[in-house]
Structures are given as C-alpha cells and as structure tokens.
Amino acid sequence: MTDQWPILSTLTFLPLFGALLILVIKDEGEAAKRNIRNVALLTSLFVFVLTLIMWAGFDKNNPGFQWREQIDWLGKGLGYHLGVDGLSVLFVVLAAFLMPFAILASRYSVKERLKEYMVAFLILETTIIGAFCALNALLFYIFFEGSLIPIFLIIGVWGGPHRAAAALKFFLYTLLGSLLMLVGLMAIYWQVGTLDIPVLLSYHFPVTMQIWLWLAFFASFAVKLPMFPVHTWLPDTYVQAPTAGTLMLSGILLKFGGYGFLRFSLPMFPLASAKFAPLIFVLSVIAVIYMSLIALVQKDMKRLIAYSSVAHIGYVTMGIFAANIEAVEGAVFQMLSHGLVAPALFLSVGMLYERMRTGEISAYGGLVNNMPKFAAVFMIFTMANIGLPGTTGFIGEFLTLIGTFREHSWIALFAATGIILSAAYMLYLYRYIIFGSLSRESLKSLLDLSTREKCLLYPLAGLIIFFGIYPAPLLNMLHGSVELLVNNYQQALANSNAIFAK
Amino acid sequence: MHMDIMAQFMLILPELLLAAGIVVLMLIGAFSGERSYTVITVLAIGVMIAAVIMLITLPLQGTAFGTALICDAFGRFMKIMALTAAFIVLIMSVGAARAGKFDKFEFPVLVLLSCLGMLLMISAGNMLSLYLGLELHSLALYVMAALDRDNARSAEAGLKYFILGSLASGLLLYGISLLYGYSGGHIDFTGLSQVLRKDPPQLGLIFGLVFVLAGLAFKISAVPFHMWTPDVYEGAPTPISAFFATAAKIAAVAVIVRLVIMCFGAAAPVAGSMPAWQQIIVFIALASMFLGAFAGIAQRNIKRLMAYSSITHIGYILVGLAAGTIIGVTSVLLYLLIYAVIMLGCFAFILAMNTESGPVEKIDDLAGLSRTNPFMAGAMSLFMFSLAGIPPLSGFFGKWYVFSAAVQAHFVVLAVAGMIAAVIAAFYYLRIVKIMWVDEPKGRFLAMPKELQLVLWLSGLFTLFYFLAGIWFLPWAETAAKSLF
C-alpha cells in the first residue's frame, strides 16, 4: 500500500511543523502570545481530527498492522517503519485527543516563555504519536526516549518550587530503565538481524535469552508505567510538573509502559512472561493495596491522585500478564480509561490550585455552595476513579478482574479490595473539599467554572460516561489484535510444554 | 614492495605539504615579526585545507619507506577528521588569542607541527615511526599548553603535561624495546603480530604490550593515566584545550586502534581467557567510564567538566575497540566523528563565555542563559542531551554503534556497565541544562563573534540532524575499518 497518503507520518510530524511555525513568531506583546496559543491549539486540534479520520479508516476485522509505511533508514533491519494495529490505534487517538486539553489548560497559567512552552508540548506530541506508531524497535526507542527531552524541560522550567530536583529524578530514573532496554535491543538485533517489529513478533527466541530480554524490557517499562517498587519518582514529578505536564504524563506518557509490555514482552518473550507472571501479580497487588493505603493518608490533593494513579496502574499490569482475552482487553481499556480519568482529576485539582494557590486538602471545604458545576463534574470523575458502574473505570477494572479470576482467583480477590480502598480515599477527598460548610473567608469569593474550564471538563466527563455505558466502539477495535496476541501467546506456551513433555 | 621513490613520496604528499608549509610560515614569521599573526593563521588554515583536499582527492594506498608509513582508508578517514578539527580550532582561536595576548605567529606554526606529527602517527606502520610521530605531535602540544606564558596556570599546565607526557613516552619506548627484544628484532606491526600469535605468549612480550598500551592510554587520557587531563584542559588557553579535546584525541585514538587491531589483535588468549590486549582495554574502558562519570559530578569549572566528560567518552570508545571486530572499529570511527563535532561546538560555546569583565569558566555563570541568549543556550542544551546519549541526537547513535558492537562481540556485561555509567554522567550534563533553563539570569555574555557562531550553528545542525544524514557516514567508516583487517 504505497499509493495511499502516509497518514501516520503526517500525524507524527505535523506537530513539529506547528512548532516550527511558532518558532518563527516574534515573541513580543500580547498579540504574539495569542498567535502562539492559537497556532498550538489549532495544530493539535488538526492532528486530532486527522487521527479520527485514521480511526474511521481503520479496519477492525484485520488484526494485523494497518496504514503501514516503510522506508530504508539506518541500514539493514533498521528501517523507518510505521503502522498501527488494534493495540496502538486507540493510544494514538488518545494522545491526539489529550493534547488540545493540555494546551488549553495552560492558557492563562503559563505566562512566561510561552513560545518555548508550546514548542516543547508540540515536540512531545510528535514523540508520543511516533512511539505508538513505530513498527521498528529502534524507531520506537528513539521516540520513547526522545520524549524525555521536552518533558524534562516542561517540568524543569514551568514546574513548581522543587521542579529542578523533580525533573532530574524523573529523567535519570527513566533513563536507567530504558538504557537497559537498549542493551536488550542490541542483543535482539544481533540475534535476529533486524529490529522490525512484525519480524520479531514471529521470531522464536531461545528460552534463556527470553528471560534476559524480558528483564531488560521490564526494567524500562516498569519504571515508565510505573510499577511498585520503582514508582518513587512519580509523586514528586506529578506534584512539581505544571498541570498540563501532569496531564500528559498521567494521561498518555505512562501508557508507553503498558503498551511496551503488550508490544514486546508478552508476544516476543512468551515463555519468560509466563515464568515471571507471578512476580508481576504480586507487584500489582502490592501496588493496588499499598498505594491505596498511602493515598488515604495524603494531605495534598495532587499527591493523593498521584498515588491513586499508581494503584490503578496495578490493574493494568495484572491484566496484561493474566494473558487471556478478557484480561488483556480490560488492561488496554483500563489504560484508556485512566487516560481520561487521571487527566480529568489533575485538571480539576489544577483549577482549584489556580484559584487558591495551595494543594492542601485542609484548605478547602464546602465548595458545593459556590461551585456547584465543579462539584457535579468532580463527582463524575471521583466515581470513575472508584470504578462505579456506568463509568469507564468500572469496565476496565471489571474486565481485568474477571480475566485474572479465571487464572488466579486469589490474586483477583486481593486486587478487588483496591476498589473499596479507592472508594475510601476518593470519597474522603470529595467530602473534605466539596461538602461541609463554606466557613473560610478566602473560599467564599471563588467563582464557578469559566467557559474555558467547562470546555476542558465537560467533554471528559461526557466521554467517561459514554464509554462507561457503551464501551463497544473501543472494545471492538481491540478485539481482533488482542485475540491474535493471546492466541499466539497460548500457542507458544503449548509448544514449549509439548517439547518438555516429550 | 619496492616501489620507486617517487611513488613513495606521492603517498606522503599531504605530510610533505604540511612540512613545507611549516618551514615557509616560520620564515615569514621570523622576518615580519609579531604583527604577522593574522597572515600566518590564514596561511596555516589554507595549508591544512589544502592537505584535506589532497587527502580526499588522492585516494592512494600502499606502504612507504619499508614498513614505516601505511596509507590506507583508515588513515585517510582519521587524517581528514583530525585536520578538519584542527583548522576549525584554529579558526575559533583567533578572537581568544587576541584577547588572551598569545596572538604570536608561533601558535599557528605549532598547530601545523602538531598536525604533521598526527599525520605521521596515524599512518605509522612500525613502532619507530609511531614513536617519532607521537613525539613530534606531543612536543608541539607541550609548548602550546604553556603558550599563555604570563599566566601561571597555563605554565603549570604545560609543565605538568610535559613531565607526565615524558613519563608516558618513556613507558612507551620501554615497551617498544621489550617487544623488539623478545620478538627477535621486529618493530613492524605485521612482523610483531606474527610473533604474538604464538601460543603460549611469551611473558616478555606481554610486558612490552602492557607498557606500550600504558603509554598510549596516557595520550588518550584513559584511566588510570588520566591525571593530567583536567589540569591541562583547565589551565591551557581554551583554544588549545579544544585542540586537545578534538584533533589530538582523534589522532591518539587512531594510533591505539591501528596498533591494537594490526599488531596485538592476533595475540593468543592468556590462560584461556581474553587476549592480553583485550583484558587491558576492557579494564581501562570500564575504569574510564566510571571515573569520568563520578568525578565530573563534583566539577564547577566547565573546562574541567569537559575533561572528565572526555574521559567518560574515551571509555565508550574503548568499549567499541574492545570488541576487536570490523563492526567495533566502525563504531569507534563514527563515535569519534560524532564526539569531535560536539566537542567543537562545546568549545565554541566556552570561547563565547565572555562577560564585560572578561572570560568566565564556572558553570554557574551560565545561569538563566536561555533568557539572555536563547541561541547559545539552545545549542549547548542540544550538545548536553547529545553527550548524555538521548535520541534522536547524534550522541545516541554513537552509543548505539559502540555498545551494539560490544554486544555483538558478547561483551554484554561491559555494555550494561557502560549504560549505568552513562546514567551517572547524564546527571552533570542535565545539570548544565538545568542551570541554563531553570535558574535566574545573573549576567549577560557579550555578543558572540561570527566565527564562533558559525561553528556553533554547524555542529548544532550536525548534532540535531545526524539521524537523517548519519547513514552517509556509515559506508565510509566501514571501508576505513575494513582496511585494518
């Protein structure tokens, strides 16, 4: 299919074009700032519309890669190869969907160095979309790792008071993980002679090699996702990053980890995955329970949501390595749901922060009296985070739990307690900041949502409910590719068992 | 082997051109005195460019004067790189030489002399021509380090470099004499390699090999022979440090690569493990990567920081060499190219760190540079991310080449260790980015001279767009590497 328009390359590099346009705007005065904001917003909206076109043209009955583009690049086996399948297409859409929110969210909060800020965000969008479209492992790595540069600057320049330390910690932490993956990629390259993902997917690695490679990739993805116990960078980073940065990090950047497990670890190293699955289950359950308990004692809203975010990622890892169709579909759906809910929560909290300049839970109370609209949408997000039926959170958690239950009922039992705990901390948060009497003087003058803020929160709330009631459009997209993945995985395990049985 | 004498002279035409240039320029300088600095610099740059053009257009191959000089693709690649780096450094040095009052005509002549030494040592085919080339190169460097003679730090740097350098030369010469004696009178690389192939290896030969490698490790500033590097980088005038970091480094690496591959590469394994040379290279690679990474963290002076950074990067280069394969040597060549371009950019940046009250060297002087001078800060951030090996910048591809060569040769542990060192070193690169972008501005730098701007632009573009253009360098490097095997 060489005659079609290379839509994935367009999607990937269009934001860069927008960044170039912004760079040539002379940064002086309000008019220039308005132009910069508009160019960034329009670029990101345009990319989003393009992803919708791509989504519409996506054949959900074809479990393989679509919209493929392939050119020679860095030599044998290191080509420029793009394509999407059911696993990645929705992440591309999600990334493009979240970007306008990030840009709109920083409309007033970012006043200094606006130009660099928008350029950094657009470069970030390029790296994110590129990573999800890449069908060459080296290309994936380049986008995956390249995203560190813009996000480092976003946190470091426009973050909170301890931003420099947080940015460094985040950068070095993830760098260590991904460099180990890089060694893994080198080993694969010399073993197979190519880093082309479709080729690697059909290659059978020797068992010992699978184990080492699995560990190398695990180092990278576990830090990125993050899993317990390598999550310690996350609370600091989330709290210090500007709201839009947290939005992108929690909404889409972390999904690199889960996507990586699905794209590399599970299909390429099935035997090692089966071997290490118990480890993953234990870590996931610890993440769900322990992080929820930590969230319960937080005094800062952003921190509470950050820990809650790690807890919810526990379901994702558990679902992926339970490796049956329900569980994997649930894991992907949970990532997508988390990609809506976590940004929504961080945006809401960011709006409160912009009004009061504090994240302390104790500084708030009784907001329902003068911010009823905020209270209503925040209720929806709270419920989605708890996993109440009728929201996307329920679908993801329910599917992963029944999928896991089929494999290991005890694991599912422990993981299910996380739902109760999440209800505890989310309701506690909601009760303290929304309900009660409006006793503080400083809170009385707070205004309800502005039009811009409604534009940010209402679509998210609408989608959370819509896909919570009618998840079929998303699940149908996933189904073919997940089925293929799981069947191949089971087949590989059966083959190796047959060999041992002989 | 017996070519007629004219053909042999044809092979060393670039060297002859440089030698003639040196004599003529020295005469011009001697007759027209101190004022001739500009003329001589321009002429010296012209001579070097002419030599580069000659190397590109005359792809002659062969050996000249017995085994003394080898002209091959590897040598050409290295010579072109070293000479190009040298004349760019000379272009960058004009402003600093004026400001630092060492704008004497001897400076460009010394650079030429050192370049002649580099060319000779790059094509050396036996131990004697290697030693002579190296000494010619080093003697010029000793003087250059102390060129700013009224400055105590510069004099100290020169003296330190001279004393330690002489010690290293002594070690090298002693090693050569051991090899000569125990091999039964061989000084040429091919002859020695045949003797070294015998199993079990003779103890005397191994001693000789260790001494030779120790002497060369000094020249490339690999741990544990790196002590001079920070002091000399810091003390010597900045353009001279740039020369040390680029041209001199390229030549020294060329020597060690040629010697290891052509001469020691065939050596039998010691006691069932790796061959002796490989054990040494692996050890100094590991030691260099980690020492450079840890020691750099404590540095506040940007030139010292660059010195430690260069020690780390020599470690990476040696990882590629340790593989001992064609892929490994290719990776070393590409890494050197990428690294040298970044270093030229970094030193153009350091040369432009001028305030109203004179040049500054502290990394804290860069505070808030992204506001006061976005172009400089942007370029420097690119270099720092690239040195840290973050894709899609050129440094990432350098890392990819050397470490994947090591993995291919089953040095996986070495590669993993190198990655860990890279994360540690990333801390100080990121700190510079942080200082430029996060901290509040303290002062302003003076406007950048045109020539430095040009160098900064070129190396910045190279660093940024290597992922598009890099593929063109790969076949050259491969041809060059193959010519050694």
Per-residue model confidence as pLDDT tens for chain B (485 residues): 455 888 888 888 999 999 999 999 999 998 987 788 889 999 999 999 999 999 999 878 888 888 889 999 999 999 999 999 999 999 999 888 888 888 888 899 999 999 999 999 999 999 999 999 999 999 999 999 888 888 888 899 999 999 999 999 999 999 999 999 998 888 899 888 888 888 777 888 889 999 999 999 999 999 899 999 999 999 999 999 999 999 999 999 999 999 999 988 766 666 667 888 888 999 999 999 999 999 999 999 999 999 999 999 999 999 999 998 999 999 999 999 999 999 999 999 999 998 888 889 999 999 989 889 999 999 999 999 999 999 999 999 999 999 999 999 999 999 999 999 999 999 999 999 999 998 888 888 888 899 999 999 999 999 999 998 878 899 999 999 999 98
CA proximity to B84, closest of B251, B218, B334, B238: B251
CA proximity to A387, closest of A277, A468, A452: A468
A138 with B415: Cβ contact below 8 A: no
Say how far apart CA B354 and CA B238 lie, in whole Å: 12
Model pLDDT for residues B433-481, shown as the tens digit of each residue: 999 998 888 888 888 899 999 999 999 999 999 998 878 899 999 999 9
B407 with A138: Cβ contact below 8 A: no
- Tell me whether A20 touches chain B (CB under 8 Å): no
Best of B386, B416, B420, B463 to substitute, by most chain A Cβ atoms within 10 angstroms, is B416
Domain closes at, from A268, A297, A328: A268
CB proximity list for B458: less than 8 A, separation 6 or greater: B345
Residue with tokens 């040597």: B329
Predicted confidence at residue A66, as pLDDT, reads 86
Taking CB atoms within 8 Å and a gap of at least 24, the contacts of B97-101 are B97/B37, B97/B237, B97/B239, B99/B354, B99/B358, B99/B359, B100/B148, B100/B151, B100/B237, B101/B148, B101/B150
Say how far apart CA B317 and CA B334 lie, in whole Å: 10
The angle at the Cα of B72, spanning B66 to B73, to the nearest 5 degrees, equals 175
Q: Do both A475 and A424 map to the same domain?
A: yes
Number of domains in chain A: 2
Q: Which of A148, A179, A189 sits opposite B419 (nearest CB)?
A: A179
Q: Is A447 helix (H, G, I), strand (E, B) or coil?
A: coil
Predicted confidence at residue A391, as pLDDT, reads 92
Complex ipTM value = 0.93
Rg (CA), chain B: 21
Say how far apart CA A312 and CA A234 lie, in whole Å: 13
A190 with B396: Cβ contact below 8 A: no
Say how far apart CA A63 and CA A345 lie, in whole Å: 34
In the beta sheet, which residues pair with residue A360? A300
Residue B194: count of CB within 10 angstroms of its CB:
13
Q: Do both A393 and A497 map to the same domain?
A: yes
User: What range defines the domain where residue A326 resides?
Assistant: 275-502
Q: Do both A229 and A284 map to the same domain?
A: no
A73 with B471: Cβ contact below 8 A: yes
B428 CB neighbours in chain A (<8 A) are: none
Say how far apart CA A214 and CA A210 lie, in whole Å: 6
B407 with A167: Cβ contact below 8 A: no
A146 with B434: Cβ contact below 8 A: no
Say how far apart CA A423 and CA A420 lie, in whole Å: 5
Domain closes at, from A234, A268, A302: A268
Q: Do both A287 and A209 map to the same domain?
A: no
Q: Do both A308 and A416 map to the same domain?
A: yes
Predicted confidence at residue B169, as pLDDT, reads 94
Q: Do both A212 and A280 map to the same domain?
A: no
Establish, for the pair of chains A and B, how many residue pairs have beta carbons separated by less than 8 Å: 89
**One pLDDT digit (tens) per residue for chain A, 502 residues:** 445 788 889 889 999 999 999 888 876 788 888 888 899 999 999 999 999 999 888 888 888 888 888 888 888 888 899 999 988 999 999 999 999 999 988 877 777 888 889 999 999 999 999 999 999 999 999 999 999 999 999 999 988 888 899 999 999 999 999 999 999 999 999 999 999 999 999 898 999 999 999 999 999 999 998 888 889 999 999 989 998 999 999 999 999 999 999 999 999 999 999 999 999 999 999 999 999 999 999 989 999 999 999 999 999 999 999 989 999 999 999 999 999 999 999 999 988 888 888 888 888 888 888 888 999 999 999 999 998 999 999 999 999 999 999 888 888 889 888 889 999 999 999 998 888 887 778 788 888 888 888 989 999 999 999 999 999 989 998 989 999 999 999 999 888 888 776 6
Q: Do both A424 and A445 map to the same domain?
A: yes
Predicted confidence at residue B65, as pLDDT, reads 87
A164 CB neighbours in chain B (<8 A) are: 434, 438
Q: Do both A164 and A126 map to the same domain?
A: yes
Q: Do both A72 and A37 map to the same domain?
A: yes
Q: Do both A97 and A48 map to the same domain?
A: yes
Domain closes at, from A268, A290, A312: A268
The Cα of A429 is separated from the nearest Cα of chain B by a number of Å equal to 33
Model pLDDT for residues B263-294, shown as the tens digit of each residue: 887 666 666 678 888 889 999 999 999 999 99
* pTM for the whole structure: 0.94
Q: Do both A308 and A253 map to the same domain?
A: no
Say how far apart CA B147 and CA B240 lie, in whole Å: 9
B407 with A187: Cβ contact below 8 A: yes
Predicted confidence at residue B64, as pLDDT, reads 86
Q: Do both A242 and A327 map to the same domain?
A: no
A179 with B434: Cβ contact below 8 A: no
